Amino acid sequence: MGKAYLDQAFQNVLTNGDKIFVPYIMAGDGGLDQLPKQIKLLEDAGASAIELGIPFSDPVADGPTIQEAGIRALEEGVGLNDILDVLIKTKDDRKIPVILMTYINPIYRFGVKPFSAKCSEAGVDGLIIPDIPLEEESLVADALAEQDIALIRLVALTSPKDRQIESAKRTEGFLYAVTVTGTTGERKDIKENVSTYLDALKEMSDCPVLAGFGVSTPDQVKQLSKACDGVVVGSKIVKSLHENDHQPIYSMIQAAKN
C-alpha cells in the first residue's frame, strides 16, 4: 500500500495498453455500510483506483451532483474518522488503490500527523486536497511523505505555464488536469483547446496525466484519453450509484480499455 502501490497499479494499466480510469464516489452517500460494496462494484468493473470523497459542508470545487451527495452523507452523520475506520476494517478485502479527496479543514481539525498515520493504517495510497495551494502544501507534505502517501496536485486550464510546470514537477501518483473552468459536473462538450493543454502537461510531467471535471460519457473518456493517460469521473458515477443504474459505469470503464 502507499505511493509505490499506486504507481505500480497505474503502470500495469498503461503497460497493458489501456488507459487509467479513476471513478470518484462520495463516502457515506446512501449510508456508510454501502461503501465497501461500492468499492467492490467499481473494482470488479475494472476501475484502476478509487477516488473517495470526504463529505464536507463547504466543498468549493464540487458541482451540484457531488454537493448533494455530500449533504446526504452528512445527514447520515458520516465523518472523516468513521470513513477511515471502515477503510481499516476492509483494508485486506481491497485489491485496488484508494485515493482520498478532502479539503484542508477536516484534515486540520483531525490533526495533520494523526490524519496521515490513520490514512496509512487504512491503506490510503494518495490524497487530493483541492483547496490547498502549492505555497501552503508544506502544512501536509512532510506528514504524508513519512507515511508514503502520494500528494496529488491539480492543475487548471487557467494556470500560468510556470505554475503548471511546478505542479507537474511536484505531483505524486498522477497529475490531475482539470479540463473545465468551474466546478465538477457533467458537460456536453469538451473545449477544443483541451487536447493542446493535455499534450503540454504530458511533456511537463513524469507522472501519468489524468483529465477530470466534466467527463461523463464513454465518448468523452475516449476523446480525452487520446491526449493523456486516462480520466477521473465523478458526477456521473455518483449519480449512477445513487440511482442504482450501473450500466453507465461499466460503459465508461470499458471505453478506457484498448
pLDDT at 140 over 90: yes
Q: Residue 51 falls within a domain, yes or no?
A: yes
Q: Residue 10 falls within a domain, yes or no?
A: yes
Query: What total of structural domains would you count in the chain?
Result: 1
Average pLDDT over residues 207-227: 92
Q: Residue 171 falls within a domain, yes or no?
A: no
Residue from 115, 147, 118, 114 nearest 129 by CA: 115
Average pLDDT over residues 124-132: 96
pLDDT band at 186 (very low <50, low <70, confident <90, very high): very low
Cell numbers 468493473 correspond to what residue? 45
Yes or no: say if 130 and 106 are a contact pair by the CB < 8 Å rule: no
pLDDT band at 173 (very low <50, low <70, confident <90, very high): very high
Give the pLDDT of residue 183. 43
pLDDT at 115 over 50: yes
Q: Residue 231 falls within a domain, yes or no?
A: yes
Domain limits for position 47 = 3-152+219-251
Burial 97-130 (b: 16+ CB within 10 A, else e): bbbbbbbbebbeebebeebbebbbebbbbbbbbb
Q: How far apart are CA 6 and CA 16, in angstroms?
A: 16
Average pLDDT along the chain = 92
- CA 115 vs. chain centroid, Å, equals 18
Q: What is the DSSP string of 77-110?
A: T--HHHHHHHHHHTGGG--S-EEEE--HHHHHHH
46-70 confidence digits (pLDDT tens): 999 999 999 988 777 677 889 899 9
Stated length of the chain: 258
Q: Residue 115 falls within a domain, yes or no?
A: yes
pLDDT at 250 over 90: yes
74-89 confidence digits (pLDDT tens): 899 999 999 999 999 9
pLDDT band at 191 (very low <50, low <70, confident <90, very high): low
Backbone angles phi, psi at 49, to 5 degrees: -165, 170
Average pLDDT over residues 117-121: 98
Give the pLDDT of residue 236. 92
Q: Residue 114 falls within a domain, yes or no?
A: yes
Average pLDDT over residues 39-44: 97
Give the pLDDT of residue 122. 98
Give the pLDDT of residue 193. 77
Give the pLDDT of residue 184. 46
| CATH code for the domain in which residue 41 is found | 3.20.20.70
Q: Residue 66 falls within a domain, yes or no?
A: yes
227-243 confidence digits (pLDDT tens): 999 999 989 999 999 99
Q: Residue 139 falls within a domain, yes or no?
A: yes
Please state, for a pLDDT cut of 90, what percent of the chain lies above it: 81
Q: How far apart are CA 237 and CA 232, in angstroms?
A: 10
Give the pLDDT of residue 14. 97
16-36 confidence digits (pLDDT tens): 999 999 999 999 999 999 999
Q: Which residues are catalytic?
A: 51, 62
pLDDT band at 106 (very low <50, low <70, confident <90, very high): very high
- CA 19 vs. chain centroid, Å, equals 15
